[in-house]
Chain A
Amino acid sequence: MQLQYFLILAAALFCIGIFGLITSRNAVRVLMSIELMLNAVNLNLMAFSNFLDSLEVKGQVFTTFVIAIAAAEAAVGLAIVLAIYRNRDTVDMEQFNLLKW
């Protein structure tokens, strides 16, 4: 029952992240929601690594990779937000229609 508990917790965190990703209008908050979703995936991987694969801890290896990728994503994403803010003078997601149509 322990594994299911952690998986449901990760699913709840993932759904909160999706909700924030779609509904938030501040661009920095969108990046924070993406971090929440990556953390939910990490929690899934760690639960699998502990309960199903406790000798070869491959889930922890994957989690380390995901943490590294998430750090790179946060750096590049915040740089993009900063560049858009310099150009458009706002962080409102509704006014970022540069690549829309």
Chain B
Amino acid sequence: MTLAEGVQLVSTIILSVMMIGAAIGVVLLSNIVYSAFLLGGVFISMAGLYLLLNADFVATAQVLIYVGAVNVLILFAIMLVNKRQDFAPMPKAWVRRGATAMVCAGLFALLSTMVLATPWSFSTTVPSSAGAIKAIGRHFFTDFLLPFELASVLLLMALVGAVILARREFIPESAVTDLQATPLTLPERPRELVPVGGTPSQEESK
């Protein structure tokens, strides 16, 4: 084993342990802010694994999009919906957790045996990251052109849809006329504040 192979093996093991541990922490920790930061750890170790798989472009995209955009978006959402409430304990909660854990372990065993039993036809060429970006760009503009353009349209739809969903309700039609004066702002109804500790029955009776 040469030095490069040793470094590759050790970094693969370290990144895998980091990724699995952070993922278990995301699922099992009770504080959701810790979960969000551990999710960033999962994304960063995933980018390291992509680098080990000779994909530097996708590793960069992973860090930029997942850590830079999605994780920050999740943190903002946690700050916006942060209520610090303790959920009401459900009866038979351990039955659900135990059944789910058993199903997940069974699925993992099934996938592992499938992976180990399948005769894979390995590529004979030595993988390298030298021409990967050129190959990706060529795929984008020749045989994957239609999905590429559809992805841009979908991103635009998601942008508009997120804005429409997350903004407050429209004001009634009678009050539109005098509120149109301020430019560059959408008209909004002044929000009535929800009383702290309100029960759901009060919310529904409004």
Q: Give residues in A with beta carbon < 8 Å to B.
A: 3-9, 11-20, 22-29, 31-33, 35-36, 39, 42-43, 46-47, 49-58, 60-61, 63-65, 67-76, 78-83, 85-92, 94-95
Q: Is the CB of B77 within 8 A of A68?
A: no
Task: Find out whether the CB atom of A80 lies under 8 angstroms from the CB atom of B127.
Answer: no
B20 touching A11, Cβ below 8 Å = no
A89 contact from B23, B62, B140, B203, Cβ within 8 A: B203
Q: Which residues of B contact A60 (CB under 8 A)?
A: 55, 57-58, 132, 135-136
Q: Mark B111-130, 1 if CB is under 8 A from A, else 0.
A: 11001100011110111100
Beta-carbon contact of B112 and A8 below 8 Å: yes
Q: Given that A25-B87, A68-B151, A94-B90 are known contacts, is A79 also in contact with B23, CB under 8 Å in the complex?
A: no
Q: How many residues of B contact A (CB 8 A)?
A: 84
Contact check: which of B77, B83, B123 meets A82 at CB < 8 Å? Answer: B77
B residues less than 8 Å from A88 (CB atoms): 200, 203
Report Cα–Cα, A81/B56, bound state, in Å. Answer: 34
Interface, chain B (partner A; CB < 8 A)? 12, 16, 19-20, 23-24, 26-27, 32, 35-36, 39, 42-43, 46, 49-50, 53-55, 57-58, 61-62, 65-66, 69-70, 73-74, 76-78, 80-81, 83, 85, 87-88, 90, 96-97, 100-101, 103-105, 107-108, 111-112, 115-116, 120-123, 125-128, 132, 135-136, 139-140, 144, 147, 151, 154-155, 157-159, 161-163, 165-166, 168, 194, 198, 200, 203
* 23 A-B contacts (beta carbon < 8 Å): A6-B53, A16-B24, A27-B81, A36-B39, A39-B66, A42-B62, A46-B58, A49-B53, A54-B126, A57-B55, A57-B136, A60-B136, A61-B144, A67-B65, A70-B70, A73-B158, A74-B74, A75-B73, A75-B158, A78-B162, A79-B163, A82-B80, A91-B83
Shortest distance from the beta carbon of A10 to any chain B beta carbon, whole Å: 9
In the bound complex, residues from chain A placing their C-beta under 8 Å from that of B43 are 39
Return A52 CB to nearest CB of chain B, in Å.
5
Please state if B105 and A15 are interface contacts (CB–CB under 8 Å).
yes
Q: How far is the CA of A73 from the CA of B165 in the complex (A)?
A: 13
The answer to whether B32 touches A26, judged by C-beta atoms less than 8 angstroms apart, is yes
Q: Which residues of B contact A80 (CB under 8 A)?
A: 165
The 9 closest A-B pairs by CB, nearest first: A72-B158, A20-B27, A54-B127, A79-B165, A11-B111, A79-B166, A79-B162, A15-B104, A78-B77
Partner of B136, one of A51, A64, A79: A64
Distance in Å: Cβ of A83 to nearest Cβ of chain B: 5
A12 and B50 contact, Cβ closer than 8 Å, known pairs A22-B100, A32-B74, A52-B122: no
